[in-house]
Amino acid sequence: MKFRLRASEQVSGFLDKGTNVTGELEFAGTLRIDGNFHGSISTGDVLIIGEHALVHADIKVGEIEVHGQVFGSVDAKRRVEVTATGRIRGDVRTPVLITSAGGVLDGRIEMAGDRPDETTIAAHSSAQQRARQERD
């Protein structure tokens, strides 16, 4: 599996497969999680959720790449990327959203630029979409 990192970025922390962590996580740099995490995560930098990761958390980051599963809200200052194996079940707020074919987003998506009047609701949860289809 490839993780695209800029030439200036290096993974500065790693929670490997088989680890279980509960609590509040704050860090600087780039952190990759491949284990299980439950709590809250906060950074102005980059979080990578590995393919085997299971994360139950409210997340506030600069950027996030999701290759595994996230349950909870995601608030990213710069970018959210959901790969083909990635799953987010919760609300997402970000100015830039990248979703690969096969990636799953189940929740509200709010995309806003620098100005508050640019806020746009981009999608509804799949449950809301099914309810609307059943009514029609």
Task: Please give the Cα distance from 110 to 124 (Å, whole number).
Answer: 10
How do the domains of the chain map onto residue ranges?
Answer: 11-135
H or E stretch at 48: strand 46-49
Number of C-beta neighbours around residue 77 at 10 A: 15
Convert the pLDDT of each residue in 36-90 to its tens digit. 999 999 999 999 999 999 999 999 999 999 999 999 999 999 999 999 999 999 9
CA–CA separation, 109 vs 136, rounded Å?
23
pLDDT for 132 equals: 53
C-alpha–C-alpha distance, residues 65 and 99, integer Å: 10
Q: How far apart are CA 14 and CA 97, in angstroms?
A: 24
pTM of the model: 0.75
